[in-house]
Every structure is written in C-alpha cells, then in structure tokens.
Chain A
Amino acid sequence: SAVISQKPSRDICQRGTSLTIQCQVDSQVTMMFWYRQQPGQSLTLIATANQGSEATYESGFVIDKFPISRPNLTFSTLTVSNMSPEDSSIYLCSVGGQGLEQYFGPGTRLTVT
C-alpha cells in the first residue's frame, strides 16, 4: 500500500485568489491522479500527472484553471486558479497500487467565499 499526505487539509479562500495543494507519497510512483469531490457528489477525475511530462486533463478541466506540477516521483501539486464559489470541493490525490487499486490521500477541503 501507499501512504499519501496532502497539505493543506482545509482552507477558506477568497474569490479570485489561487490555492496550491501538495500531495506527497511515501514511495515512487509513475502516475498520480487528482480528483474533485463536490459536496454530496462522487469523485471526478481532474487530471493524470506523469513525472517529466505535461499532465493529461479530463474533459471539462483545463490547465489554465488547474495547473499541475510533478517535479519527481513522490510529489505533485495542484493549483486551483482564480477561484470562484463553484470551486468549493474536496480535492484528492491518488496513486495506483500494484494490485491495480488506487490509494487516496485524505483530501483537501476547499471553501471559496
């Protein structure tokens, strides 16, 4: 299994600002994934982050709004840019396990006022 930590665990931000969420894994992994979970909703994949290449974004998500960095095999960041109240969500990072399951971080609860 993989142990994943995220920072911050929660934040309250003002409209128009940006927040960078950090994700740290205790082992080297090729792929890291970023999900959004809006209140009362399921998880929606934002993007897949590969080390050494540009992230791959899912339909409805763009790099200008959600820039991602992947500087090494244990770390990634997701930035939520120019925030609006609609961005209020839980943001989770995850990695794949050898058994093909995914392991998730504890999430970052973002509230935009």
Chain B
Amino acid sequence: AQTVTQSQPEMSVQEAETVTLSCTYDTSESNYYLFWYKQPPSRQMILVIRQEAYKQQNATENRFSVNFQKAAKSFSLKISDSQLGDTAMYFCAFMKRMEGWNTGNQFYFGTGTSLTVIP
C-alpha cells in the first residue's frame, strides 16, 4: 500500500518570502507520479505542479518548484515570492500508474498542510 505523509499541519510565511512544504511517501512501485494540489477556502482543488518519477529534473511552474529526491522518497514544494492568494490547504498526492485501458489511476493524498500568507 502507498502512504503519503505531510508532517507540517500548519505553516505561515510572510508575503514575498519563500516557503517549503514537505512531503514524503512510501511505495514499492517504480512507475508513479507525484502532485501538489491546492485547496483554497472555496474548496476547489487546483493542480499546482506534477512530477514524473522517471524524470530526474525537478518540475517548475512559475513561482512553484519541487525538490524531488526519489531515493529518499521525498517531494517538497517550494513557493517563491509568496502571495496572499497562495493561502490555502496544500495536498501532496501520489499516483500509481495502473495497467490496462479500463483501469483508473489510483491517487493517494497526504493529510495536507494549511499555509497562511501574512501580509
């Protein structure tokens, strides 16, 4: 079974500063993907960034980047130049790639980190 652990229930950061959210996972799979999702108070889950396990290069999306350490099974999210709109719950997610055309992609979510950006 896959598990995803986010050890920081709550974090805060000053506006314009940088913050790093941690995530570790446990799996015996070799073919998988990792995601960070953001859930603001509106409840809408929004994809922030994704990482394919077979890629060594860390993914980057504008102010968001990851530090993917496959051997350590670590997948942290760095938010640079934090903005007030970044205030949200952030979920780390693991996806096991299923074989067969009619099978779904199984997602496992961490317990989330509540991030508050302070003006």
Question: Is the CB–CB distance between A102 and B105 below 8 Å?
Answer: yes
CB distance from B9 to the nearest CB of A (A): 9
Chain B residue, CB-CB nearest to A94:
B45
Task: Encode contact with B along A70-112: 1 for CB under 8 Å, 0 otherwise.
Answer: 0000000000000000000010101010011111101101000
How many A residues face the partner with a CB closer than 8 A? 24
Measured between C-beta atoms, what is the minimum distance from A36 to chain B in Å?
A: 11
Number of interface residues of B (CB under 8 A): 22
- B91 partner residues in chain A, CB cutoff 8 A: 42-43
The A-contacting residues of B in range 12-59, CB under 8 angstroms, are 33, 35, 37, 42-45, 47, 50
Interface of A is mostly: strand
Whether the pair A50, B102 counts as a contact (CB closer than 8 A) is: yes
Beyond the given pairs A42-B109, A56-B104, 8 more chain A to chain B contacts, judged by CB atoms under 8 angstroms and listed by A's residue number, are: A41-B111, A42-B91, A43-B91, A43-B107, A48-B104, A50-B102, A96-B104, A101-B35
In the assembled complex, 17 residue pairs joining A and B whose CB atoms fall closer than 8 Å, in A order, are A33-B104, A42-B110, A42-B111, A43-B45, A45-B107, A50-B102, A56-B104, A90-B43, A92-B45, A94-B45, A96-B104, A100-B50, A100-B95, A100-B97, A100-B105, A101-B35, A106-B43
